[in-house]
A and B are shown apart, each in its own frame.
Chain A
C-alpha cells in the first residue's frame, strides 16, 4: 500500500457507500434494460450512466494515488451535476419519466444518498491531498 491510499479513515466508509450504490445501480439498470427497456428508455439509460459513474468512482477510490484521486474528483463533480440536473428535471417534467431513475428527485428513493455522496466525496478527496502531499 502506498502512502497516498484513499481508502483509510472516513474513506473506508465512503468506499463502502459507493460500493453499495454501484451494486444497486448496476443490478437495477441491468435488470430494467434487459426486461422492460421500452417502457422508460430515458430513465433506464440514465440509471445505466449513473451505474457506470458509481463503479468508476469505487474503482478509483480503491486504487488510490494522485491520478486516481483527480479522476475520482472529476467524477464526483460530474455525479453531483448529474444528480442536480436529473433531480430538477424529474421535478419539473415528471411526464418524461414513466419510471424513476436512481437520481430521480435528488435520490429521494435512496434516502438522498445520491445527492449527499458526491458532496462528502469531494470534501474527502480535497482533504486527502492536503494530508498526503505528493509523495
Chain B
C-alpha cells in the first residue's frame, strides 16, 4: 500500500505553506519577482513625471558620421500631457533650411499605433502618415522614432536586474522588452536613478540580440522644483560608428498650451 502522505511529508508541506503565507505578509518586497519590481519602478517613474502639464523646448540635433562629418537640425518641441493616454507632441523644424516650416504632430497611445501628421510647406499640405515605422531613423540620425516617443508604462515588460551606482547617484538597472509591435529592439537595459527617476543610460539590443546603440544623458536640470530633464542626450550606434547629440535648450513648463494647439489642421498656421 503506497504511502500517500507520511507525517514527515505533511510537516514539510505545512512548513512550506506557512513560509509562503508568513513570507508574503512579513517581507512583501523580498518575495516580489524581478518583473514586479521592474514594473513598479516604471510606474513610479511615470507617477513622478505626472502633472507637468505642458512644456516647450528647443532641440539642436547634431549628427556625426564615423569620419567625423557633422550636420545640424534645429527643432522646436511642444508637448502637452494627456491624462490616461500618451502625450501630444509637436515638432517644428527650423533647420536645415530646406525643411524649414515642416511640422510633425504626434498623438501617442501606449500599445496602439500613434496618430501622426506631417505638414509639408512646399505643398501646403497636411498629410496623415503611417506611424507603424517605429524603428526607422528620425531625420537621418541615430535616434529611431521609438526612442523619442512618449514612454508609457504599458509599452514594455520589465525586469529589475540589478542596482548600481551611476555617476553621483544610485541606479536601478532594469531590462525592458518592447510590448508594442514593430520595434527594432529585442530588449533594452536602462539605468534609472532612485531619487528622481532620471534615465541616465539605455542600451538597445537589435533584432539579432546584439548591442546596437547606447544612449547617455547628462546635465539634468530640475524644473518647477520637481521635473528633471537632461540638457544633452548622446546616442551612439556601435555597429556603424555614427552618433547623434541632442542639446535641449529653453525648457519652459506650464506655458498654457492646450488641445487647440495640437490639432492636425492647425499645423498650417505654425510659423
A associates with B? no
Question: A: which residues have CB within 8 A of B?
Answer: none
Question: B: which residues have CB within 8 A of A?
Answer: none
